[in-house]
């Protein structure tokens, strides 16, 4: 048995000795610097997907004063930014999500959140945005971004002010939106011809 173990060790040693490589390591290739053109590590025979500079949807928030739905100077400035955005110019759908604080009844808060979203919609339509692009969703006091009350139960005025808002999302148009627009235009042209 000792001869078998010795033979196995000798065989293993010879196998490992054969694996050693005394050849020197290859010299690294220099990295391009300065005016040299960098070389791509991507294989030229494999088609690479095109680089697309995708525009992201626009999301912003319009704040409102206590109990009101009037657009403040700050709100008008933010809406002007939306109006000038490339996302709005692309013609995609616009979602207005109206919110209120927790002061008042559920019905009153739902009415307030709807009125705030309607105020933003009216402004956008006055600025030339097609009304059929705009969807309103009223949440009332649901989905607060800040607590409406402090830990002791007293009103959190700063939190309530943050919750009186309309969240605006301007999405980029999809193929379905483009088809819908084409059908609407065709229907409108046909009606004018009749």
Q: Which domains does the chain have, with CATH numbers?
A: 58-164 (3.30.1330.60)
Could you tell me which of 142, 136, 140, 137 has the C-alpha nearest to residue 107?
Answer: 140
Which range, 11-15, 19-23, 167-171, 189-193, has the best average confidence (pLDDT)?
Answer: 167-171
Does 43 score more than 80 pLDDT? no
pTM (2 d.p.): 0.65
Least confident of 40-44, 48-52, 172-176: 48-52
What's the rounded mean pLDDT across residues 46-57? 68
Comparing 31 with 171, which gets the higher pLDDT? 171
Query: What DSSP line would sit under the chain, residue for residue?
Result: -HHHHHHHHHHHHHHHHHH---SPPPPPPPPP-TTSPPPP-S-TTSPPPPP--PPPPEEEEEE--TT--PPPHHHHHHHHHHHT-HHHHHT--EEEEE---SSS-HHHHHHHHHHHHHHHHHHHHHTT--GGGEEEEE-TTSS-SS-SB-TTSSB-HHHHHHHSEEEEEEPPP-HHHHHHHHHHHHHHHHHHH-
d(CA 142, CA 158): 17
Mean residue pLDDT of the chain comes to 83
> pLDDT category, 72, cuts 50, 70, 90?
very high
Comparing 17 with 80, which gets the higher pLDDT? 80
In the chain, % of residues over pLDDT 90 = 57
What's the rounded mean pLDDT across residues 3-25? 68
What's the rounded mean pLDDT across residues 107-127? 97
């Amino acid at each position: 048995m000792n001869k078998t173990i010795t033979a196995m060790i000798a065989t293993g040693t010879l196998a490992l000795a054969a694996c050693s490589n005394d050849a020197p390591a290859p010299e690294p290739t220099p990295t391009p610097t300065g005016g040299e053109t960098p070389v791509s590590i991507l294989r030229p025979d494999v088609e690479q997907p095109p680089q697309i500079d995708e525009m992201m949807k626009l999301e912003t928030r319009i704040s409102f004063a206590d109990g009101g739905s009037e657009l403040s100077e700050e709100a008008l400035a933010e809406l002007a930014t939306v109006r000038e955005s490339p996302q709005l110019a692309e013609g995609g759908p616009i979602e207005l999500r109206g919110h209120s604080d927790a002061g008042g009844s559920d019905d009153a808060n739902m009415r307030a959140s709807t009125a705030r979203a309607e105020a933003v919609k009216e402004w956008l339509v006055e600025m030339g945005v097609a009304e059929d692009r705009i969807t309103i969703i009223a949440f009332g006091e649901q989905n607060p971004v800040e607590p409406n009350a402090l830990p002791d139960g007293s009103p959190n005025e700063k939190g309530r002010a943050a919750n009186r808002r309309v969240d605006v999302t301007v999405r980029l148009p999809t193929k379905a939106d483009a088809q819908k627009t084409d059908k609407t235009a065709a229907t409108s042209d046909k009606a004018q011809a009749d």
